[in-house]
Amino acid sequence: MENGSTLAGCLARNRSRHRLGFGLAIVSALAGLIPSAAPAASFTASLDRDTVVAGESAVLTLTFEGGQPKSFPALPSIPNLQIADHGTSQNISGVNGRWTSTISETLELTPVQPGDYVIPALKADVDGQLLTSRALTLKAVKPEASASAQSGEQLAFLRMLVPKKEVYLGEAIQVQLQLYIRDGVANGDGILRGFEGLGSSPLKADGFSILKAAYAQRQRTAIGAGIYDVATLVTLLSPVKTGPLTIDSINTSLILQVPATNQRRDNFDPFGMFQRFQEKRAVLATDAETVTVLPLPPGAPANFNGAVGSYHLALTAGPTNVAAGDPITVRIQLSGSGVLDSLALPEQTAWHDFKVSSPTYKIEPADPLGATGTKTFETVVVPQSPDIRDLPPVSFSYFDSTKRSYETLTGSSIALSIRPGGAAVVPAGAAANRAVSDNPPPSPDLVYIKQRLGEVAPFGPPLVQQPWFLALQGTPVFAWLSVMVWRKRSDRLANNPRLRRQRRVAQILRDGLMDLRKAAAENNPDEFFAALFRLLQEQLGERLDLPASAITEAVIEEHLRPSGVPEPALSALHELFQTCNLARYAPVKTSQELAAMIPKFEAVLRELRDLKR
């Protein structure tokens, strides 16, 4: 955001300098026709208001009176403060024969986060005098969502619902984060779809484990005089430490499109298809909620392993009529509500007469979050004695947060019929074969001398006449030449940083295009647009010899257009940058739409590769 503000400010100041030069020429011409003496020059900076709600704008005016500035002072980059140039104006006024020239530059300042923003003292050269303005402070406050939300006046707001303010360690709670968009916001549906397409939970919950997030069905509700569409994100949390913990949501800034005021009704457009809209910025935030996490009380059963919730137990086993040493499959089902993923089967000390294998499990959730459902454990037990008459009961202990007490579930024992295990009988045919194989015929101790040598293999041509031998002699020469070529290439790269960067960026683009195709195939718009913006920065940075992190849409007008890049390529670049910027609020939903952007991006890359540096 800082780089974007800096480049946008530089671009705005360049445009202001052109307008300033033209304005100064007019002021100079008029000043030459005015015989009266002018007052002493002055330079002031002022804000139209010193306190705004985060996301709203204040106007900073730089005023030069009684003189001509050599250039407008540069406003430094301030973190989380967006700066937009609204142009310059010139004015000449006369009172009682005294004429005064005034030149003003207007800047719009928009803080995106609450806090105090200091605009430092600025210096300007006015008619050879070095003048300094006073420092200013702009205070941005957090929006009061609760009061305006009740009246239905806000265009958009967030609401967080925490069901319990007191929970136990390891207990699962469901926190709802609701986004309200008032009816009449033109891009409201796109914003809601973007919210529902978030890849991660926007909650800030230190001390909690964020288990899973899912979206509830979209609703429509009336609040005060307003009608709102509501998207709800439900997040399953579980505290991992005790004490007072805070749950909050990230602050976000939205651009809302609302119908422009003072529009004349057009009889040829009864459906409002050509209605004009104006943009309004809204910063959304919620009030933080404090949750007290209590430790589990003492007195836990011996086989308690940390399960918190409410559960029921069911047990099945089979077969029940087996020989000693034969396996029996045991299935244990735990059904209820809690953190199913963390449930573990405790050790069953009563099964000491069985060999027990490590259990496997399967989870069947009853809701999208997996906060309720069934977890089935399956293990194999092997009875070791024919004296065993039953499988001892299974026990499972958990802490019930509703009853605030420990509970132990015990399944009934299962009757078994165990017969003695017999030794395996070897078939007669197999025994005979084994006897034969166990006594192989003795190997001869003497090897007779051959009286005939057999055929003598013919001799081939000498080595110097063999092609492979000649090729082998040329291997050292080829290796030496390869080393020399590699050394020259390394020296060339070492002495040419632009070439090194060009090759590195080419590799980044090759890998990045593969990432784009993968993200499009997986319908992952967040990863797709993040990769697309990064590749644009890398390619433009390499072509313009600028840091990749400093590349924004402003370089199109500052560098590419003066370099003679064709207009279609500039338009395509503008479209790609704007699509990436808008992806946060209304991301593309289908993989086909994502995949359709890749050929456009590749066409822009081909145009940029032909750009002369």
Reported as a single tens digit per residue, the pLDDT across 180-231 is 998 889 888 888 888 887 767 788 888 998 888 888 888 888 887 788 999 9
**How far is C-alpha 178 from the chain's CA centre?**
20
Q: How far apart are CA 99 and CA 38, in angstroms?
A: 6
Q: How far apart are CA 203 and CA 240, in angstroms?
A: 16
- What fold is seen in the domain 2-141? Immunoglobulin-like (2.60.40)
Which CATH code of 1.10.1060, 3.90.105, 2.60.40, 2.60.120 fits the domain covering 145-262+275-294?
Answer: 2.60.40
Confidence bin at 534 (pLDDT 50/70/90)? confident
- Residues 166-188: what's their mean pLDDT? 90
Instruction: With a cut of 80, say whether residue 406 has pLDDT above it.
Output: yes
Identify the residue with better confidence: 16 or 157. 157
Angle between helices 475-494 and 497-521 (to 10 degrees): 90
What confidence score (pLDDT) does residue 581 get? 74
What confidence score (pLDDT) does residue 142 get? 73
Q: How far apart are CA 498 and CA 490, in angstroms?
A: 14
Confidence bin at 567 (pLDDT 50/70/90)? confident
What confidence score (pLDDT) does residue 175 get? 92
Q: How far apart are CA 110 and CA 57, in angstroms?
A: 4
Instruction: With a cut of 80, say whether residue 260 has pLDDT above it.
Output: no
What confidence score (pLDDT) does residue 434 get? 45
Instruction: With a cut of 80, say whether residue 613 has pLDDT above it.
Output: no
- Residues 576-597: what's their mean pLDDT? 73
- The model's pTM is 0.50
Task: Note the CATH number of domain 309-419.
Answer: 2.60.40
Place of tokens 């958990």: 398
What confidence score (pLDDT) does residue 456 get? 55
- Residues 477-499: what's their mean pLDDT? 81
Phi and psi torsions of 62, nearest 5°: -100, 115
Token output for 508: 């980044």
Q: Mean pLDDT lowest for which of 89-98, 146-155, 402-411, 555-564?
A: 146-155
Instruction: With a cut of 60, say whether residue 37 has pLDDT above it.
Output: no
Share of the chain above pLDDT 90, in %: 20
Across the strands, what pairs with 364?
374
Helices (H) and strands (E) in the chain, counts: 11, 31
Place of tokens 């949501």: 249
- CATH topology agreement for domains 2-141 and 145-262+275-294: yes
- What fold is seen in the domain 497-609? Four Helix Bundle (Hemerythrin (Met), subunit A) (1.20.120)
The sign of the CA dihedral 534, 535, 540, 542 is positive
Q: Any idea where the domains of the chain sit in the sequence?
A: 2-141, 145-262+275-294, 309-419, 497-609
Q: How far apart are CA 124 and CA 107, in angstroms?
A: 16
Mean pLDDT of the residues in the chain: 79
Instruction: With a cut of 50, say whether residue 9 has pLDDT above it.
Output: no
Confidence bin at 48 (pLDDT 50/70/90)? confident
- Residues 81-101: what's their mean pLDDT? 76
Q: How far apart are CA 400 and CA 406, in angstroms?
A: 6
